Chains A and B, each alone.
Chain A
Amino acid sequence: MENLPFVAELVISFLLVSGGFFSLVGALGLTRLPDFYARLHGPTKATTLGVGSVVIASMVYFTLKTGEVAIAEVLITLFLFLTAPVSANILAKAAMHQQVDCMKGTRGQPWSQ
C-alpha cells in the first residue's frame, strides 16, 4: 500500500487489528463461557463487530486504491446481518428442543412448545 496516504494506512490498520481482536475474543468466548446458550453469544457477536471492522477496512482500502466506491462489501455486511440472527435463532430453538442444560444461577426457564 505504498501509494496510500499515511492517515488512510493508519485507519485501515486500526480497523484490521480491532477486527481481528474482536474475532479472537468471540473465539475465546466459545471456550470460556459456561453453557450452550451463553456460548451462542460469542460467535454471533464476533461476526457483527469483528467482521464489520474488516469489511470497512476493505472498503476504505479498495475505494482509495481503485478510485471507485467499493460496493461488494456493503452486500457482505447486508447478507451477514440477515443470516446471523436466523442461525442463532435456529440454534437456540434446537437447544431448547433437546433440553440442553443451563448453567447454575440462570434465571427464568426456556420454553418447551
Chain B
Amino acid sequence: MTAERLGFPQPWLSVALFIVWQFLADGVTGASVVMGLILAIVIPLITRQFWPDSPHMKKPWVLARYLVVVLYDIVVASVTVTILILSPRQPRSAFVSYPLKLEHPLGITILASTISLTPGTVSADVSDDGTLLLIHALDVDDDAELIRSIHQRYEKPLLEMFQ
C-alpha cells in the first residue's frame, strides 16, 4: 500500500478532512491548502488507534440512494411526530430489541445514527456482543413491523456496503 507508507493510514478520511477544511476556510487559498494538508496527515495518525480495522465501503454508490431514502424518511416521520405531539392522545412507547445482522462496527454506527435521526425512534444501546440494538420508539403498535421496516429500509443497503 503506497498510501500507507506515505503516512496516510486512511486515505479517504484524509481526503474528507482536506475538503472539509477548504469549506471551513471559506475559499481555496495557499494558506488553506497548506493547513488542510497538515490536518489531513496529522488527524488520521492521532486517531489511528480508535479504528481497530480501517473502514472500507464496497459499493459507495449505494450510499447516495441510502441518503435520499433517509432524508425522505426524516421529512415524512417529522410530520408524523408533529401530529402526535399536537394531538391529545398518549403515545404508545416501546423498547424494541433489534437483532443486528450487520457486523461491521462502522456499519452499526451508521445504522444507529440513522435510527436516531429519523423521528420517532432513538437507538439507546448496543449489546456488549454487538448482536442487539436497543431502540426506544415513541409511538408504535407493532414491534415486529418496526423491526421489519428498519431492516428493509436501512440495514439492507448498509449490508450491501459493508459485508
B75 within 8 Å of A by Cβ? yes
Please report the C-alpha to C-alpha distance between residue A85 and residue B114 in the assembled complex, in whole angstroms.
Answer: 8
User: Per a CB cutoff under 8 Å, which of B23, B78, B85, B134 touches A49?
Assistant: B78
A88 contacts the other chain (CB 8 A): yes
* Residues in A whose Cβ lies below 8 Å from that of B90: 34, 103, 105
Q: How far is the CA of A90 from the CA of B82 in the complex (A)?
A: 24
The CA of A106 and the CA of B26, in the complex, are separated in Å by 49
Size of interface on B: residues with Cβ below 8 Å to A = 37
The reply to whether A105 and B92 form a contact with Cβ atoms under 8 Å apart is: yes
B135 to chain A, nearest CB (A): 9
Q: Return A37 CB to nearest CB of chain B, in Å.
A: 5
State the majority secondary structure of interface residues on B. Answer: mixed
Closest to B78 in A: A49
Q: Which listed residue, A42, A48, A78, A107, touches B74 by the CB 8 Å rule?
A: A48
**Which single member of B75, B86, B113 contacts A85 (CB below 8 Å)?**
B113
- Which of B5-13, B41-49, B116-124, B148-156 contacts its partner? B116-124
Q: Bits for A60-93, please: 1 = Cβ < 8 Å to B, else 0.
A: 0000000000011011001001101110110011
Give chain A interface residues in 88-109, CB to chain B under 8 Å.
88-89, 92-93, 96, 102-103, 105-109
B82–A93 CB distance below 8 A: no
CA distance A29 to B91 in the complex (A): 11
B122 in contact with A102 (CB, 8 Å): no
User: Contact at B97–A92, with CB atoms within 8 Å?
Assistant: no
Residues of A near B124 (CB, < 8 A) are 37, 89, 92-93, 96, 110
Provide the bound-state CA to CA distance between A81 and B114, in Å: 9
Shortest CB–CB separation between residue A89 and chain B, in angstroms?
Answer: 6
**B interface, CB within 8 angstroms of A:** 20, 23-24, 26, 74-75, 78, 81-82, 85-86, 90-97, 112-117, 119-120, 122-125, 127-128, 134, 136, 138, 143
| Residue contacts A-B, CB under 8 angstroms, 12 given | A22-B82, A34-B90, A37-B136, A49-B74, A71-B23, A72-B26, A84-B117, A89-B123, A105-B92, A107-B94, A108-B97, A110-B124
Additional A-B contacts beyond A49-B75, A82-B113 (20; CB < 8 A): A28-B85, A34-B90, A34-B91, A38-B91, A40-B122, A41-B138, A48-B117, A49-B78, A74-B23, A84-B116, A85-B117, A89-B122, A92-B124, A96-B124, A102-B93, A102-B95, A105-B93, A107-B95, A111-B127, A113-B125
